[in-house]
Amino acid sequence: MGQLILPDDALYGASTQRAVDNFPISGRPLPEAFVRGLGLVKLAAARANEEIGRLTPAKARLIQQAAQEIADGTLTAQFPVDVFQTGSGTSTNTNANEVIANRASQLAGEPLGSKRPVHPNDDVNLGQSSNDVIPTTLHVSVAVALQFRLAPALDRLAVALDQKARAFADIVKIGRTHLMDATPLTLGQEFSGYAVQAYKAADRARRAVALLRELAIGGTAVGTGINGHPEFAARVCQVLTAETGIEFVEAVNHFEAQAARDDAVEVAGILAAIAASLSKIAGDIRLLGSGPRAGFGEIRLPVTQPGSSIMPGKVNPVMCEMLVQVCLYAQGLTQTVVLAGRDGHFELNVTLPLIAHCLHETIHCLSNAVTTFTAKCIAGIEADAARCRELVDRSLMLVTALNPYIGYDAAAAVAKEAFATGRSLRDIVLAKKLLDAATLDRVLDPVAMTKPNAQAPGVGGG
């Protein structure tokens, strides 16, 4: 295809440069986490090929050393091909083959581009095709990111929320449903719900890892395994399991593993659910801290930065806003994965680089956002117990506790009169002689309402 001029420091070759020239689209190469995963896959392939006698120990050692450098992130700059490239990711697989071969030449004291002692296709790509390497790298790299980045970040958020739930256990506040006053609960109970959301999110992230255990490696071009070795795929999976601690296995059906991206779509759905959960938590905390005088003001959020260029002293819930924005972005990315999975045809899905970008970008942004939100918002939240009690005392929904004693209709009439006249529930009940003072004080105790199983009504009904 003619000669090309390469940068002096390039370890990649002509095929990679052609891809760089052909795809000047976004200016964004594939995510570093994906590239590092590709290094792991190439390392595993070299070790497997040595074990089955298809590579000499000397060549296998050089390939593994170069591949390890990719996996360690020291050669990430040598992967310049844009996300929007050939849909199989062939350009990126070729990029890896060229970088590993040239790095092997450096290590062996041979000139770059000499293909000595390691050939990019015959040795580095031995028993492989872009069509099984790139789907394999997708699964491996995303599983690693979920297991070691997102899940731990969600664990830390859950622990921080649980600590707040325990600290706020005795602070009674008014509940809200439909954004309207409801019966009381404790601030600790409210935060315990957020904590469980975060624990479940972490569990979902780990379940997503399990969805990616099957690897396409060994299917080569279209899933038949042409030019492969019958033991190759299983050995690659064994190496990857040892390197990552995640139990990878050969795909049950290589045609499905290369033609369909249903596992990636399911993972995207899980990430969308996690984003929805986090957005709900952030939105609630933003509202609970609203004010300081004209909002709910039941909690005080940490002060992180000035909130206005014109209003002195204004402080905004910026960490909540950041997390909500990241969650919106994540849900857009995951929807792209759904559409990309839908649009695969015949024996190969050709939206692989885009899927890789979207999943890694989602995990990267969510992990960083959750870590920052935990440290700079949740950890510093304080309760305003006086404000919580004030809103409880003003609420008409304490009347709900009267239902078992005076019936729904009578309780509704009491609430309506209290709202219309501004009198307290207690005054109206006593004036109407619906209950005696001692019983009424016990029934309208908001603390008791947060533990309804401990309070037995005097009469049935309602």
Active-site residues, by number, are 178, 308
Tokens matching residue 321: 């806003």
Nearest alpha carbon to residue 140 among 232, 236, 265, 73: 236
- Would you report the helix, strand and coil content of the chain in percent, each value rounded to 5? 65, 5, 30
- Under 8 Å between Cβ of 149 and 203: no
- Cis, peptide link before residue 117, omega less than 30° from 0: yes
- Among residues 373, 374, 367, which one has the least CA distance to residue 149? 367
- Sign, CA torsion 157/159/165/167: negative
Residue 213 in tokens: 């255990």
d(C-alpha 210, C-alpha 263), whole Å: 10
What residues contact 285, with CB distance under 8 A and at least 6 apart?
194, 299, 301, 317, 320, 377, 378, 381
The 3-state DSSP class for residue 87 equals coil
Q: How far is CA 89 from CA 34, 309, 347, 351, in A?
A: 11, 47, 15, 8
Helix (H, G, I), strand (E, B) or coil at 313: coil
